[in-house]
């Protein structure tokens, strides 16, 4: 297996940084480094993960302040050159605030935090993080958020759907997208999206929490396996 | 100063004889600042003046104990060079006055106690008591429940420490005085524990974290008084939590602790700067001199009195090596924190407080900490006991047992707590291998093969009926719960929630409960490594049930042996370990179905309990068990039902041995030292052999499989229902109270 280098960005208040690091480094055996938000270099990483947590306490809007961290310039440049970037939970929120992904994540419909395993359906497999999944595959992955209710204006939403940029949707055991299977009120059941170039993916569910059988699910592995396969076959996407 | 009069003393919660002791300790009259410092340090909350004589009787030693009571938290050796650092603490009074912030700051406080010891916090749990969800105070209770749960979630989720489990009980005596007990566990190098010490004359004293405001002044004194209808006016004494600030403090402190520049550290919790300075000094026999002008302040014009007594959250006091200041300051700067150099360690044993260079307080640290008053308060057996211990089961009508069973499943104390733990991030840090709601919480220890199981348990109703046996039962249940996860219990912490200790009946309950905890812990060889006492839990003269809560930590050598309460598949044998007796006293059944709180709590034989706990550990290590679930609230009927819940709808058909002529007494008896386990058919003989060697009664009572829950007693059908129907009643009950409220 080729050695891939993961960078896990650490904002003050990130708290799933250790989990993303553990999965990339210890479960999958790749070089992995924390990158402190005040740094301006990504240390030669091949993949960037913006982890979950409560950056800056999320006292303003989730992810609102983190977008101004020095490291985000490097992340934007990395993404602009085609590098694969995965934002998980708060990382997704940061990507939206930084306008690297469209739309916004607002308070859950019931105004409560939800931590539980949910089912999500893989909608698109032509992103670096889902190419090893099957279209329509149902994954069991935990969510843990109070503000995961995806919202976009009608025009943006239409563009997202038309350009096949909804990557994951909440669904039931049989893969049906229903109101009951939607834990937070997200529009169109959206659990994850990508940018136009498809190299930046934002997800509310936590794949890094579902990579070991002892944790109750290994369905999250496909996101890591995909990006490794992607880089192995193409070199860096920029190449 | 001659202006100290009775009114001033009363405002400080000090008695006249205590004031005389202060004057004697100082050899003069105290200044107002000194009086304030004495009042918080000698409050019940900080000094344990009523409880100390009894707490001394608890077993605190053991081969695994690395740190017993007296530091910020206790610690036990878990092998592989690691220590589990843990403690439980109450935040009852603040949570009644301001549920969200009261609970949130309780979480923040216990987390600080853990990382102060050099440990990374990896798990939180809580033990909560509220009034009934409906009836006269139902609306207020639901508001308190929502606030407390949201506060625990708001703090724990944000800081990124999973809330992995806990327990919640709803009962009338808590309607005006809820209990919020918070437990935290952290991991540290066994040889890298950090102590709250102020050693080395000339070493600088640093203040780090949030600025000091006027919030929480006299919080410790408030926690040492009863409530009345003026309690809402005490709201300014409740602090506001900032989990982001604490997250920065946590990471910065752990980074600093990796090096050797640090001498000692203590968080500023109850009694704030007064407590941190005097306790650190007293532990080392040294003095501390600070000038409050260097303390970062949030408000203008604060006096030395206010600065010393403020309980503003998220603040730490550190003593570091002289000459190492730049590297210390650099670490805190990295985390955008400012470390303020506020004072110095001295050799005179005094807490000397200056304000712009002028001495405003000068008190021997030992007078504040070690020489606080100790009372052996009068005790008297409460007169209510003779009446409530009488129970004539024969005179009770017997409703159809299946109806009673359904009512029990939907009783808030028994019903699923998913509505609660779904609001807690119980998976962050990816260590939770037995998830919330599935029995004792189990957290793996990364980098080793091991895992830790933990459980918090208490039964106030049992303790109301018999505090001695009730407390023993709490120890037994917590230990049995971690054993059901496959763990060996290795350490305990307790949170003792009682009424006003100045009443002899309350003090008697307290003494009896502590005696029970001591006896049970000695019998199980589980040392108490620390804890917390919360007294004055009364509103308008009505005390809560005496409620000792035990937090027990268990060690699983091989994490792959951990098990949960849920059946794993069809065609397994279902076994009952232990025996059911005809004892409905104090049961959830009597309370829920008959509205009675009467009788004696279940009998308890510690030798049998120990044998059962050891058997569970051996059987789990040998991978003979597919599931294990303790029989407690609701008896064997509810236990069997819970084994089928969250188990993909797998049912069971069992025939349980009769314990009494009445069906209800067999099905709902809460006899102690019982566990329902499931095992593969071909491993059942091995399990029965182990049980026989251990002297634990064990018998196969049926098999798993099908989609129905069928329970017979001596061949007579008693309960027969679809698992989905039972599970639906159980899982929707709690949430339905809030839906009714919303509609």
**pLDDT(B250) > 80:** yes
The mean pLDDT value for B266-276 works out to: 92
pLDDT for B235 equals 47
Nearest to B153 by CA among B178, B113, B126: B126
Task: Flag if B421 and A22 touch (Cβ within 8 Å).
Answer: no
Nearest CB to B429; choose among A19, A36, A113: A19
**pLDDT(B539) > 90:** no
pLDDT for B227 equals 59
pLDDT for B219 equals 65
The mean pLDDT value for B58-77 works out to: 96
Residues of chain A with pLDDT below 70 are 1-2, 235-239
pLDDT for A61 equals 78
Buried b / exposed e over B233-244, threshold 16 CB at 10 Å, is: ebeebbbbbbbb
Q: Is A18 known to be catalytic?
A: no
Task: Flag if B428 and A144 touch (Cβ within 8 Å).
Answer: yes
- DSSP string for B319-337: EE-TT-HHHHHHHHHHTT-
Run of H or E including B155:
helix B138-159
Closest chain B residue to A62, measured at CA: B158
**pLDDT(B173) > 80:** yes
pLDDT for B230 equals 57
Nearest CB to B243; choose among A22, A57, A208: A57
The mean pLDDT value for B543-565 works out to: 98
Buried b / exposed e over B616-653, threshold 16 CB at 10 Å, is: bbbbbbeebbbbbbbbbbbbbbbbbbbbbbbbeebbbb
- Say if CB A64 and CB A99 are below 8 A apart: no
pTM as predicted: 0.95
Task: Flag if B427 and A206 touch (Cβ within 8 Å).
Answer: yes
pLDDT for B215 equals 80
Substitution target from B428, B432, B742 for chain A, most A beta carbons within 10 A: B428
CB contact A37 to B (< 8 Å): no
- Say if CB A203 and CB A167 are below 8 A apart: yes
Nearest to B69 by CA among B547, B524, B516, B495: B495
**pLDDT(B89) > 50:** yes
- DSSP string for B53-65: HHHTTS----TTE
Length of chain B: 743
B204-209 and B315-320 strand pairing: antiparallel
CA distance B200 to B188: 24
The mean pLDDT value for B409-434 works out to: 97
Nearest to A194 by CA among A98, A86, A89: A86
Highest mean pLDDT among A167-171, B136-140, B541-545: A167-171
CA distance B314 to B268: 7
Say which residues have a Cβ less than 8 Å from residue A137's Cβ, sequence separation at least 6: A121, A122, A222
Q: Which stretches of chain B sit within 8 Å of chain A by CB?
A: 150, 153, 157-160, 242-245, 247-248, 334-336, 421-430, 432-433, 435, 444, 446, 559-560
Q: Is B45 known to be catalytic?
A: yes
Residues of B in contact with A112 (CB under 8 A): 150, 422-423
Residues of B in contact with A16 (CB under 8 A): 160, 428
Task: Flag if A57 and B335 touch (Cβ within 8 Å).
Answer: no
A114-122 and A166-171 strand pairing: antiparallel
Q: Where are the domains of chain A?
A: 5-234
pLDDT for B98 equals 92
Token couple for A93: 């929120």
pLDDT for A56 equals 86
pLDDT for B536 equals 93
The mean pLDDT value for B35-64 works out to: 94
Share of chain B above pLDDT 90, in %: 90
- Say if CB A83 and CB A201 are below 8 A apart: no
pLDDT for B101 equals 94
B637 or B228, higher pLDDT: B637
pLDDT in tens, B98-131: 999 999 999 999 999 999 999 999 999 999 999 9
Task: Flag if B430 and A59 touch (Cβ within 8 Å).
Answer: no
Task: Flag if B157 and A54 touch (Cβ within 8 Å).
Answer: yes
CA distance B4 to B29: 9
Residues of A in contact with B435 (CB under 8 A): 216
Closest chain B residue to A207, measured at CA: B430
- Which of A16, A37, A89, A123 does the annotation list as catalytic? A89
Nearest to B146 by CA among B118, B119, B178: B178
CA distance B445 to B663: 45
Nearest to A186 by CA among A104, A100, A99, A119: A104
pLDDT band at B223 (very low <50, low <70, confident <90, very high): low
Closest chain A residue to B433, measured at CA: A215
Closest chain A residue to B247, measured at CA: A13
CA distance A118 to B125: 23
pLDDT for A63 equals 80
Task: Flag if A57 and B428 touch (Cβ within 8 Å).
Answer: no
Nearest to B167 by CA among B153, B159, B151, B179: B179
Task: Flag if B427 and A215 touch (Cβ within 8 Å).
Answer: yes
Nearest CB to A57; choose among B158, B444, B559: B158
Task: Flag if A13 and B336 touch (Cβ within 8 Å).
Answer: no
CA distance B236 to B215: 6
Tell me the pLDDT of chain B averaged across its residues. Answer: 94
Nearest to B516 by CA among B606, B600, B454: B606
Per-residue H/E/C for B12-30: CCCCHHHHHHHHHHHCCCC
- Which of B12, B54, B91, B137 does the annotation list as catalytic? B91
pLDDT for A238 equals 41
CB contact A62 to B (< 8 Å): no
DSSP one-letter code for B235: G
- CATH architecture classification, A5-234: 3-Layer(aba) Sandwich (3.40)
Residues of A in contact with B335 (CB under 8 A): 12
- Say if CB B735 and CB B419 are below 8 A apart: yes
The mean pLDDT value for B455-474 works out to: 98
The Cβ of residue B470 has, within 10 Å, a number of other Cβ atoms equal to 29
pLDDT for B743 equals 47
Nearest CB to A19; choose among B430, B444, B559: B430
Phi-psi region of B578 (alpha: psi -120 to 50; beta: other; left: phi over 0): left
pLDDT for B615 equals 98
The Cβ of residue A126 has, within 10 Å, a number of other Cβ atoms equal to 11
pLDDT band at B1 (very low <50, low <70, confident <90, very high): very low
The count of C-alpha atoms lying within 13 angstroms of the C-alpha of B715, restricted to the half-sphere facing its C-beta, is: 0
Q: Is B356 known to be catalytic?
A: no
**pLDDT(B233) > 70:** no
Nearest CB to B157; choose among A12, A22, A113: A113
pLDDT band at B16 (very low <50, low <70, confident <90, very high): very high
pLDDT band at B222 (very low <50, low <70, confident <90, very high): low
The mean pLDDT value for B383-404 works out to: 96
Task: Flag if A22 and B446 touch (Cβ within 8 Å).
Answer: yes
CA distance A41 to B338: 26
């Amino acid at each position: 297996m080729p050695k891939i280098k993961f960078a896990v960005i650490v904002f003050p208040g990130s708290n799933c940084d250790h989990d993303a690091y553990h999965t990339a480094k210890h479960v999958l055996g790749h070089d992995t480094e924390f990158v402190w938000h005040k740094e301006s270099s990504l240390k030669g990483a091949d993949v960037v993960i913006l982890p979950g947590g409560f950056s800056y306490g999320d006292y303003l809007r989730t992810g609102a302040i983190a977008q101004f961290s020095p490291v985000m310039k490097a992340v934007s440049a990395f993404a602009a050159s085609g590098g694969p970037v995965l934002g998980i939970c708060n990382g997704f929120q940061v990507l939206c605030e930084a306008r690297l992904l469209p739309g916004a994540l607002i308070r859950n419909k019931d105004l409560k935090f939800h931590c539980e395993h949910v089912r999500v359906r893989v909608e698109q497999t032509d992103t670096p993080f889902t190419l090893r999944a099957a279209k329509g595959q149902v994954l069991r992955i935990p969510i843990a958020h109070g503000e995961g209710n995806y919202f976009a204006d009608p025009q943006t939403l239409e563009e997202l759907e038309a350009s096949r940029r909804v990557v994951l949707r909440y669904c039931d055991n049989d893969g049906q997208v229903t109101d009951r299977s939607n834990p937070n009120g997200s529009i169109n059941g959206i659990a994850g999206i990508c940018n136009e170039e498809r190299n930046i993916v934002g997800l509310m569910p936590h794949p890094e929490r579902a990579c070991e059988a002892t944790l109750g699910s290994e369905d999250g592995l496909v996101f890591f396996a995909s990006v490794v396969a992607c880089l192995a076959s193409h070199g860096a996407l920029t190449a | 100063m001659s202006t100290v009069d009775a009114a001033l003393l009363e405002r400080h919660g000090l008695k006249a004889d205590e004031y005389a002791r202060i004057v004697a300790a100082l050899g003069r009259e105290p200044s107002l600042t000194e009086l304030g410092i004495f009042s918080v340090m000698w409050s019940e909350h900080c000094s344990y003046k009523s409880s100390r004589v009894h707490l001394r009787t608890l077993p605190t030693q053991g081969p695994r104990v690395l740190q017993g009571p007296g530091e910020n938290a206790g610690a036990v050796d878990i092998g592989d060079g690691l220590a589990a650092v843990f403690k439980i603490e109450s935040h009852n009074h603040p949570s009644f006055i301001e549920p969200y912030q009261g609970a949130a700051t309780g979480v923040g406080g216990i987390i600080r106690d853990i990382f102060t010891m050099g440990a990374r916090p990896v798990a939180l749990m809580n033990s909560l008591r509220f009034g009934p969800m409906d009836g006269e105070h139902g609306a207020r209770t639901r508001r308190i429940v929502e606030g407390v749960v949201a506060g625990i979630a708001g703090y724990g989720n944000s800081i990124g420490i999973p809330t992995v489990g806990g327990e919640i009980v709803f009962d009338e005596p808590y309607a005006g005085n809820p209990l919020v007990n918070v437990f935290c566990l952290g991991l540290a190098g066994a040889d890298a524990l950090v102590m709250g010490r102020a050693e080395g004359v000339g070493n600088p004293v640093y203040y780090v974290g949030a600025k000091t405001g006027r919030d929480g002044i006299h919080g410790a004194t408030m926690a040492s008084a009863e409530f009345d209808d003026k309690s809402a006016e005490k709201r300014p004494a409740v602090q506001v939590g900032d989990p982001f600030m604490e997250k920065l403090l946590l990471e910065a402190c752990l980074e600093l602790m990796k090096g050797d520049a640090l001498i000692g550290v203590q968080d500023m919790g109850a009694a704030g700067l007064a407590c941190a300075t005097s306790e650190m000094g007293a532990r080392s026999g040294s003095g501390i001199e600070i000038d409050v002008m260097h303390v970062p302040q949030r408000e203008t014009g604060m006096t030395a009195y206010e600065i010393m007594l403020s309980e503003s959250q998220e603040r730490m006091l550190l003593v570091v090596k002289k000459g190492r200041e730049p590297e210390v300051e650099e670490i805190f700067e990295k985390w955008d924190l400012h470390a303020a150099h506020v004072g110095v360690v001295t050799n005179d044993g005094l807490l000397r407080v200056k304000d712009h260079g002028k001495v405003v307080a000068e008190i021997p640290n030992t007078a504040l900490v070690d020489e606080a008053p100790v009372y052996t308060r009068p005790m008297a057996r409460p007169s209510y006991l003779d009446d409530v211990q009488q129970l004539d089961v024969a005179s009770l009508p017997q409703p159809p047992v299946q109806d009673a069973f359904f009512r029990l499943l939907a009783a808030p104390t028994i019903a699923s707590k998913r509505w609660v733990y779904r609001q807690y991030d119980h998976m962050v840090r990816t260590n939770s291998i037995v998830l919330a709601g599935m029995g004792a919480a189990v957290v793996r220890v990364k980098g080793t093969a091991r895992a830790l199981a933990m459980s918090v348990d208490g039964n106030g109703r049992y303790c109301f009926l018999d505090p001695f046996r009730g407390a023993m039962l709490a120890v037994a249940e917590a230990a049995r719960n971690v054993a059901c996860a496959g763990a060996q219990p290795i350490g305990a912490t307790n949170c003792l929630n009682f009424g006003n200790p100045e009443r002899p009946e309350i003090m008697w309950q307290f003494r009896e409960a502590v005696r029970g905890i001591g006896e049970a812990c000695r019998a199980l060889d589980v040392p108490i490594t620390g804890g917390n006492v919360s007294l004055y839990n009364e509103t308008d003269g009505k005390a809560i049930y005496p409620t000792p809560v035990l937090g027990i930590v268990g060690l699983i050598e091989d994490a792959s042996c951990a098990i949960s309460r849920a059946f794993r598949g069809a065609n397994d044998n279902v076994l009952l370990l232990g025996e059911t007796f005809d004892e409905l006293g104090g049961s959830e059944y009597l309370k829920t179905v008959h509205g009675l709180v009467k009788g004696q709590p279940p009998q308890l034989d510690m030798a049998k309990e120990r044998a059962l706990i050891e058997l569970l550990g051996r059987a789990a290590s040998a991978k003979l068990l597919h599931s294990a679930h303790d029989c407690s609230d609701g008896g064997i009927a509810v236990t069997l039902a819970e084994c089928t819940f969250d188990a993909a709808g797998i049912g069971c058909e069992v025939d349980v041995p009769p314990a009494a002529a009445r069906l209800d007494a067999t099905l709902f008896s809460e006899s102690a030292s019982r566990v329902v386990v499931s095992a593969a058919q071909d491993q059942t003989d091995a399990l029965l052999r182990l049980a026989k060697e251990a002297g634990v009664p064990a018998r196969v009572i049926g098999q798993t499989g099908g989609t129905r829950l069928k329970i017979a007693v001596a061949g007579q059908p008693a309960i027969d229902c679809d698992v989905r129907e039972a599970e639906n009643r159980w899982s929707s009950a709690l949430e339905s109270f809030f839906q009714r409220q919303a509609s």
